[in-house]
Amino acid sequence: MMVVMNRRVAWLSAVRALIVNGGKSSGSSSSNRYISTAAVAGKPLESFCASRELDWRKSTMVMRMMCTASSSSKELTEKDDRKEKTSSSATEAKKKKDDDEDKALVSSYWGIARPKITREDGTEWPWNCFMPWETYRADISIDLSKHHVPKTFPDKVAYRTVKLLRIPTDIFFKRRYGCRAMMLETVAGVPGIVGGMLLHLRSLRKFDHSGGWIKALLEEAENERMHLMTMVELVKPKWYERLLVLAVQGIFFNAYFVLYLLSPKVAHRVVGYLEEEAIHSYTEYLKDIDNGKIENVSAPAIAIDYWRLPKDATLKDVITVIRADEAHHRDVNHFASDIHFQKKELREAPAPIGYH
Angle between helices 45-104 and 2-20 (to 10 degrees): 10
Q: Which residues contact 116 (CB under 8 A, 6 or more apart)?
A: 124
Helix residue ranges, H only, the chain: 2-20, 37-40, 45-104, 153-173, 177-206, 213-234, 239-262, 264-290, 301-306, 315-341
Q: What is the pLDDT along the chain (356 residues), one digit of tens a residue?
A: 544 455 555 555 655 655 545 444 444 444 444 444 444 444 444 454 445 555 555 555 555 555 554 555 555 555 555 655 555 555 665 566 555 555 555 666 777 777 888 888 888 899 888 889 899 999 999 999 999 999 999 999 999 999 998 888 888 777 787 888 888 888 999 999 999 999 999 999 999 998 999 999 999 999 999 999 999 888 888 888 788 888 988 999 999 999 999 999 999 999 999 999 999 999 999 999 999 898 999 999 999 999 999 999 999 999 999 999 999 999 999 999 999 999 999 989 888 877 66
How far apart CA 105 and CA 20 sit, in angstroms, is 73
C-alpha span between 154 and 270 (Å, rounded): 10
Q: Which pLDDT score, from 0 to 100, does residue 351 have?
A: 84
Q: What per-residue confidence (pLDDT) applies to 43?
A: 45
Residue 195 to residue 189: CA distance in whole angstroms: 11
Nearest to 184 by CA among 172, 194, 195: 172
pLDDT of residue 78: 59
List the alpha helices (DSSP H) in 21-44: 37-40
- Asked if 230 contacts 318 with a C-beta cutoff of 8 angstroms, the reply is yes
What's the pLDDT score for residue 224? 95
Strand partners, 314: 298
Q: What is the tens place of the pLDDT at every residue in 301-336?
A: 999 999 999 999 999 999 999 999 999 999 999 999
> DSSP string covering 139-183, please?
-TTS-S-------SHHHHHHHHHHHHHHHHHHHHHTT-HHHHHHH
What's the pTM?
0.69
236: helix, coil or strand? coil
Check residue 159 and give its pLDDT. 95
Beta bridge partners of 298: 314
